[in-house]
């Protein structure tokens, strides 16, 4: 059984770790939920261009004083960095569908060992629709998942095979949870990093999907900075 962590600690840990994945000049789209926090943790020496579905190129982190003129697709206020621009929705989706995004960071209801993703609906529950997720998972070069390791019932979210309706097939590049970093390499899911609160056996028990353990298996990056989170 996995240990319980404070919800805010979980969210910020995942966002901080994902923020370490980008390089100078990357164009990145952030989904709703945990992904919106990623822009708050980009290292100072890395310049990332954040794009929002609703039409901002060059979006920055949430400002200290909110300006309701600038809101991301997830409903969170954002800043516009120097050189940034507000663009029309058709141009925004042209960037996505045209393959101009280096990465997108999305949440997940389920993911599986075949790199499939389900993140838009649970049958029987009312949902607003898939939104831009279907475009993002096919248009971005990398799809990074920001998700808790298990659901609220303690059941695995990383499965052998997704059970919910798919958002995309064989699209996931990287999965970051509060306890592990798993990357797809040559068609295999590889556990690369593990958090200090858990053992490998605990991660195995909480992960239905089959995975390979990297050699060496590294401690999860960024955890040493958690004391700065309010």
Question: What pLDDT band is residue 215 in, cutting at 50, 70 and 90?
Answer: very high
**What local confidence, expressed as pLDDT, does residue 130 receive?**
82
The DSSP code for 220 is P
pLDDT for 171 beyond 60: yes
pLDDT for 230 beyond 50: no
pLDDT for 185 beyond 60: yes
- The per-residue pLDDT of the chain, averaged, comes to 94
Question: What pLDDT band is residue 22 in, cutting at 50, 70 and 90?
Answer: very high
| φ/ψ bin of 195: left (φ > 0), alpha (ψ from -120 to 50), beta (otherwise) | beta
Annotation marks residue 53 as catalytic: yes
- Count of CB atoms within 10 A of residue 203's CB? 22
Burial degree of 81 (CB within 10 A; 0-12, 13-18, 19+): middle
For the stretch 59-105, pLDDT in tens is 988 888 888 888 887 788 888 999 999 999 999 999 999 999 999 99
For the stretch 133-161, pLDDT in tens is 999 999 999 999 999 999 999 999 999 99
pTM, rounded to two decimals: 0.94
Question: What pLDDT band is residue 207 in, cutting at 50, 70 and 90?
Answer: very high
Q: How many CA atoms, within 13 angstroms, populate the side-chain half-sphere of residue 28?
A: 29
Going from the C-alpha of 138 to that of each of 83, 101, 122, 143, 221, the distances in angstroms are 27, 10, 21, 9, 28
Q: Are 120 and 130 in contact (CB under 8 A)?
A: yes
pLDDT for 229 beyond 50: no
Better pLDDT: 202 or 71 = 202
For the chain, give the percent of residues with pLDDT over 70: 98
For the stretch 109-132, pLDDT in tens is 999 999 999 999 988 887 777 888
Q: Which domains does the chain have, with CATH numbers?
A: 7-222 (3.40.1080.10)
Q: Is the dihedral of CA 157, 142, 183, 8 positive or negative?
A: negative
The dihedrals phi and psi of 187, each to the nearest 5 degrees, come to 80, 0
pLDDT for 186 beyond 50: yes
| Annotated catalytic residue, options 7, 8, 53, 226 | 53
The dihedrals phi and psi of 141, each to the nearest 5 degrees, come to -70, -35
Kindly give the residue spans of alpha helices, DSSP state H, lying in 64-132. 89-97
**What local confidence, expressed as pLDDT, does residue 227 receive?**
64
* Closest among 215, 54, 206, 53 to 136, alpha carbons compared: 53
Spatial neighbors of 43 by CB under 8 A, at least 6 apart, are 19, 20
């Amino acid at each position: 059984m996995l240990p319980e962590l404070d919800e805010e600690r979980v969210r910020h840990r995942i966002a901080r770790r994902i923020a370490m994945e980008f390089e100078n000049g990357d164009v990145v789209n952030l989904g709703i939920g945990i992904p919106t926090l990623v822009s708050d943790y980009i290292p100072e020496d890395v310049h990332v261009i954040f794009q929002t579905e609703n039409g901002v190129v060059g979006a920055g982190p949430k400002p200290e004083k909110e300006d309701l003129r600038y809101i991301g697709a997830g409903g969170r206020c954002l800043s516009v960095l120097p050189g940034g621009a507000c663009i029309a929705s058709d141009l925004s989706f042209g960037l996505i569908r045209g393959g101009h995004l280096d990465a997108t960071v999305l949440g997940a209801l389920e993911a599986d060992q075949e790199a499939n993703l389900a993140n838009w609906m649970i049958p029987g529950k009312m949902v607003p629709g898939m939104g831009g997720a279907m475009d993002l998972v096919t248009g971005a070069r990398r799809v990074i998942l920001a998700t808790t390791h298990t659901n609220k019932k303690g059941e695995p979210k990383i499965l052998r095979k997704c059970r919910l309706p798919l958002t995309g097939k064989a699209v996931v590049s990287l999965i970051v949870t509060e306890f592990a970093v798993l990357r797809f390499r040559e068609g295999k899911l590889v556990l690369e990093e593990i958090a200090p609160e858990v053992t490998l056996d605990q991660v195995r028990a909480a992960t239905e999907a089959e995975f390979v353990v990297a050699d060496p298996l590294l401690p999860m990056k960024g955890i040493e900075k958690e004391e700065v989170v309010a």
